[in-house]
């Protein structure tokens, strides 16, 4: 296995392919051994051979893609944990993709638990700060399409009452300003979400607090904006988590 891995690593260093003799020399393997392992790796799809040169195969590329994806997940989780600890609140990361709300990562602690998803987040974008923030970043047609599929419905006494009222609220939301929500999704909870510029994809980072700590929400949101501004550029949170 170790010898096969060395061959894979050697092939990966040659964008335009490499012959068996060169790979054997670079890995310190006897040529017959290298040939045998290379044939096995080709058979299993980890390498492909073209005109005597060896290239990474689809199986190896899938592994590479999976590894990169896992690294991005880890980076996002670590970043949210940093913000969680710095501000002392649960932190959420969500995107709008293919017409749906997707909460990609949540960072919480026993002392600062996240909001329980008691009503499907995808169907209640109108009621929570995450959804309102994401919808505010969409064009008018995309907003209406979403609300045609998931009409406004009151889930607490504080929830916006109809599509028209929600659309007016979204129209008044200035670009890149935070969205605040107080007990519209869950009684006893207040939330804030800030939009993130991620190319053409709508994204947001959000926080929540118990309603009895509502006086902390504005300051915590400002701190979150500062944290995001300082770290987001260097960490380059990926849309394709």
Domain boundaries, the chain: 2-56, 68-235
Which range is least confidently modeled, 34-43, 59-68, 232-241?
232-241
Give the highest mean pLDDT range of 44-53, 135-144, 199-208. 135-144
Nearest to 93 by CA among 183, 194, 181, 222: 194
CATH number for 2-56: choose from 3.40.630.30, 3.20.20.140, 3.20.190.10, 1.10.10.10. 1.10.10.10
Q: Examine domains 2-56 and 68-235 and report if their fold is the same.
A: no
What is the per-residue pLDDT for 198?
64
Cβ pair 156, 187 in contact under 8 A = yes
Which range is least confidently modeled, 13-22, 53-62, 71-80, 225-234?
225-234
Give me the architecture of the 68-235 domain, per CATH: 2-Layer Sandwich (3.30)
What is the per-residue pLDDT for 239?
44
- pLDDT higher than 90, residue 187: yes
Q: How confident is the model at residue 73 (pLDDT cuts 50, 70, 90)?
A: low
Give strand ranges (E) for the chain.
47-50, 53-56, 91-97, 100-107, 179-182, 189-198, 201-210
């Amino acid at each position: 296995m170790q010898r096969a891995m060395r061959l894979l690593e050697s092939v990966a260093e040659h964008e335009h392919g490499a012959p068996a003799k060169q790979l054997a020399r670079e890995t310190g393997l006897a040529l017959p051994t290298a040939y045998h392992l290379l044939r096995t790796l080709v058979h299993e799809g980890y390498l492909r051979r073209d005109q005597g040169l060896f290239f990474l195969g689809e199986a190896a590329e899938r592994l590479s893609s999976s590894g990169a994806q896992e690294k991005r997940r880890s980076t996002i989780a670590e970043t949210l944990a940093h913000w969680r600890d710095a501000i002392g609140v649960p932190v959420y990361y969500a995107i709008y993709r293919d017409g749906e709300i997707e909460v990609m990562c949540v960072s919480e602690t026993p002392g600062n638990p996240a909001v329980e998803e008691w009503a499907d987040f995808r169907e209640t974008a109108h009621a929570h700060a995450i959804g309102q923030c994401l919808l505010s970043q969409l064009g008018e047609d995309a907003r209406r399409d979403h609300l045609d599929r998931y009409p406004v419905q009151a889930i607490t006494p504080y929830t916006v009452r109809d599509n028209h009222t929600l659309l007016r609220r979204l129209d008044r939301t200035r670009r890149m300003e935070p969205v605040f929500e107080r007990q519209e999704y869950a009684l006893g909870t207040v939330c804030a979400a800030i939009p993130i510029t991620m190319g053409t994809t709508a994204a947001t980072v959000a926080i929540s607090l118990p309603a009895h700590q509502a006086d902390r929400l504005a300051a915590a949101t400002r701190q979150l904006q500062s944290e995001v501004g300082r770290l987001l550029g260097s960490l380059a949170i990926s849309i394709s988590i």
